[in-house]
């Protein structure tokens, strides 16, 4: 299923999210069960399937990592079901340090500043990867796409860190 086609977008990483939300509402309305109250069982079933696709498509396209993964899968690289091990030592050392720093929040004298600092580091790093990724993702060269796959994997680690940071923040207040 090509979600970009479903939402009438070109399969590109940069995407107008306001327009996406607008098209989502239109598509939702078109397949709403109320419209099929008097339809045949088969048409009802198709409408329900279509509604599920519209929801999945919207959730995929609005989420930057899932959108990038979808683009790669359309180009023949399926990352969503992989169980690849990342072995980039330098990157993983940095991940380890950040995880340790997250643990230190509770014992910190100034936990709010500590959180603020980590927020900065995480968003800076994430923004860096995203900007590199957006330059390569619309390419068709296999090497570029393999690099993009690596960047998506890194973004997943960063998303995990940001989740953990949000959790540490919730635990404080």
Partner 1 sequence: MAYSEKVIDHYENPRNVGSFDKNDSSVVTGMVGAPACGDVMKLQLKIDANGIIEDAKFKTYGCGSAIASSSLVTEWVKGKTIEEAQAIKNTDIAEELALPPVKIHCSILAEDAIKAALEDYKSKHDK
User: Which residues in this chain contact partner 1 in the complex, by CB under 8 A?
Assistant: 82-87, 89, 91-93, 95-96, 99, 152-154, 156-157, 159-161, 163
* Spatial contact of 162 and 122, defined as CB atoms under 8 Å apart: yes
* SS3 per residue for 89-109: HHHHHHHHHHHHHHHHHHHCC
Query: 162 CB contacts (<8 Å, ≥6 apart)?
Result: 122, 126
**Closer residue to partner 1 (CB): 95 or 134:** 95
Query: 150 CB contacts (<8 Å, ≥6 apart)?
Result: 88
**Closer residue to partner 1 (CB): 116 or 163:** 163
Q: Nearest distance from residue 97's CB to partner 1, in Å?
A: 10
**Closer residue to partner 1 (CB): 6 or 102:** 102
**Closer residue to partner 1 (CB): 43 or 88:** 88
Q: Nearest distance from residue 111's CB to partner 1, in Å?
A: 20
**Closer residue to partner 1 (CB): 83 or 143:** 83
- At what angle are helices 142-172 and 89-104 packed, to 10 degrees? 10
Q: Nearest distance from residue 158's CB to partner 1, in Å?
A: 9
Question: What b-and-e string marks burial along 99-126, b requiring 16 or more CB atoms within 10 Å of the CB?
Answer: eebbeebeeeeebeebbeebeebbeebb
Q: Nearest distance from residue 85's CB to partner 1, in Å?
A: 4
Q: Nearest distance from residue 62's CB to partner 1, in Å?
A: 21
DSSP conformation class of 34? G
């Amino acid at each position: 299923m090509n979600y970009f086609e479903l939402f009438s977008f070109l399969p590109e990483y940069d995407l107008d999210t306001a327009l996406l939300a607008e098209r989502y509402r239109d598509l939702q309305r078109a397949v709403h069960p109320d419209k099929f109250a008097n339809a045949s069982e088969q048409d009802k079933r198709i409408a329900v399937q279509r509604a599920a696709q519209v929801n999945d498509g919207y959730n995929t396209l609005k989420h930057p990592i899932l959108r990038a993964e979808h683009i790669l899968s359309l180009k023949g690289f399926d990352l969503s079901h992989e169980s690849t091990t990342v072995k980039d030592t330098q990157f993983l050392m940095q991940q380890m340090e950040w995880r340790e720093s997250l643990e230190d929040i509770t014992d910190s004298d100034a936990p709010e500043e500590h959180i603020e600092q980590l927020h900065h580091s995480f968003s800076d790093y994430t923004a860096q990867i995203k900007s590199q990724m957006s330059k390569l993702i619309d390419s068709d060269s296999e090497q570029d796409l393999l690099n993009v796959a690596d960047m998506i994997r890194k973004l997943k680690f960063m998303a995990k860190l940001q989740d953990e940071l949000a959790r540490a923040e919730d635990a404080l207040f």
